[in-house]
Chains A and B, each alone.
Chain A
Amino acid sequence: MSNENTTAASGHPLFAWTLRLPIIIWQVLFFLGPLLFMVAMSFFLVKNYRMEEAFEFKNWQKMLTRGYFWDSYFLTLGLAALSTVVTSLVAFPAAFALAFKVSPAVRRWALFLLIIPFFTSYLVRIFSWYVILAESGVVNAILAHIGLGPYTMLNTKFGTLVGYMTLTLPLVVVLQTFSLANIDRNLVQAAFNLGCSPFRSVYAVIVPLAKTGLIVAALFCFILSFGDFVSPYYLGGSKPPTLPILIIDTTKSGQQWPRAAVVAVMMMITLITIAFAAITLAYRKRASR
């Protein structure tokens, strides 16, 4: 290794490897191992309720030729895409306010508050929404006071979306705020001095400058929504089930682990494709005009 000049930089091999090796072994055994085994499992067979190691395409054939799988697939894709668009749009004005319109102390507190829910029970928050959004729940009780409703919000796409946003909105606001707060203020000021209106400076200057961060935030939102089973199950009514619910049903009730693995692998392929596209888009240089 030529770029290291002294023994200090490269270190004693025993020291270096003692720190490096444990996590490599750990991740290979308990992260890479399980994932690769799951891919292999999608080719296994189930006979008499017992799984047999094999290399057959039966599960793939079975799942990919069924209408219900594709119904679930496109539903999940659509819901996650909708969640990504809505959450990004809802988060943006708040992130904009936190980045530009409040003092640094307020911003620090706001970001701290937004981090808290990420580490508290998502399950309990969804159950709470279930009660709040019910036919006789809090929201409808308030609406009744002003002579509206009652509205059915549970077992609808709206319910699912509220759940997804409970999971993703705090994170998206935090990531968007970081990317907005890091852009060069001089450029925004320059646009303003050149007579650019506030709204135009947002979409012509600020958004392009913060593009990478905004896309990464949206990508996280998509990944979280795509993989969540709690919201579509408890708030969305699960008809038809989304892919994560399909995995649970297939695993828990049918003992059909290989078929569940097919669904999981399909989800992984989709996510990798979308993540790759998003990252390419995020780091692409803007074409000169």
Chain B
Amino acid sequence: MSAGNRISAGLLAWGLRGYTLLLFVFVFAPIFFSIVFSFNSARFPTIPLESFTLHWYETIWADPDVWVAVRNSVIVSICTSIIATLLGFCTAYTDYRFNFRFKSAYLALVLLPPTIPLIIMALAMLAWFSKFGASGQLWSIIIAHSVLTAPFAMAICRLRLNQMDKDLESAAWNLGASEWRGMREVIVPFCKPAIISSLFLTAAVSFDEFAIAWFVSGLNKTVPVLILEIVQGNIDPQVNAIGTFVFLVSMTLVIVAQIFFTLRQSKTFS
């Protein structure tokens, strides 16, 4: 390879890295500006920035609607994450351990929901719950969110089970443990990091979901539904303050999930 070629290859590599950096700027710009503007006094913020303020945080802090929405969101996320993780774990184990007829149909039934546009799920859920007089309840959001997030839980637990030595469970059975005891004392402890990771991740998805929640919630608004309604009115910098709060919550959940996810990879079963 000639020197000129090597230089142009090097330039190309650096060009690609610079391009990738720009792409990250695009991805994180809205998050960054939302946080910056939440501390800015301008009603219609731009640069140069106006003065620093906590005003928007004070107004949302004093707003009882926000507190109700936060409470609703917390209830929905926690319940969703528990149900989804339980369902996802059982499915992951079933897929790991058993072969049976219609297994691919079974897996499709569990894994398909995230590929269906949320707005369609929202309409379907609204109609279905209304038919049984059950729309407008918090638990109808919980049910819908569990359907949506169970596949994520399944994927996380399934990846973990992939790393397990099949002989571990057989060893437990040979030593006289029942299948239930093997589940309790071998499988579940081995999957614990994945289960915790899945609890946090499904909670994060539920905490941010607005389409289904908006259709199904009725008067029991969650935080994203409240944001949606504020945004529909007009430009209101309060959204940046609520948004920053929402970002902090969901990023914390995702990062905690990720920490358990990587713990899982480094630590082997002992």
Interface positions of A (Cβ within 8 A of B)? 1, 3-4, 8-12, 15-16, 19-20, 22-24, 26-28, 30-35, 37-38, 41, 90-91, 93-94, 96-98, 101-102, 110, 112-117, 119-132, 134, 136-138, 140-142, 165-166, 169-170, 173, 198, 223-224, 226-229, 234, 244, 247-248, 251, 257, 260-261, 264, 267-268, 271, 275
Contact = CB atoms under 8 A, between A and B. Distances in A.
Contact of A124 (B46, B90, B150, B246): B246
Contacts of A102: 17
A207 B260 CA distance: 34
B211 to A, nearest CB: 7
Given A121-B224, A122-B208, 9 more contacts: A23-B90, A30-B146, A102-B17, A119-B205, A121-B250, A125-B30, A128-B33, A138-B47, A223-B117
Contacts of A37: 124, 127-128, 131
A141 B37 CA distance: 15
Contacts of A116: 251, 254-255
Interface string B96-109: 01111000001001
B144 A30 contact: yes
Contacts of A247: 119-120, 123
A148 B27 CA distance: 24
Nearest to B150: A23
B61 interface: no
A124 B243 CA distance: 6
Contacts, number: 243
A91 B26 CA distance: 12
Contacts of B24: 110, 113-114
Interface stretch (B50-58, B62-70, B189-197, B227-235): B227-235
Nearest to A19: B90
A227 B26 CA distance: 22
B123 A260 contact: yes
Contact of A90 (B23, B115, B126, B150): B23
B20 A98 contact: yes
Contacts of A234: 231
Given A34-B128, A169-B23, A264 B34 contact: no
B160 to A, nearest CB: 16
A223 to B, nearest CB: 6
Contact of B27 (A28, A33, A170): A170
A27 B120 contact: no
A150 to B, nearest CB: 11
A268 B124 CA distance: 12
Contacts of B251: 116, 119-120
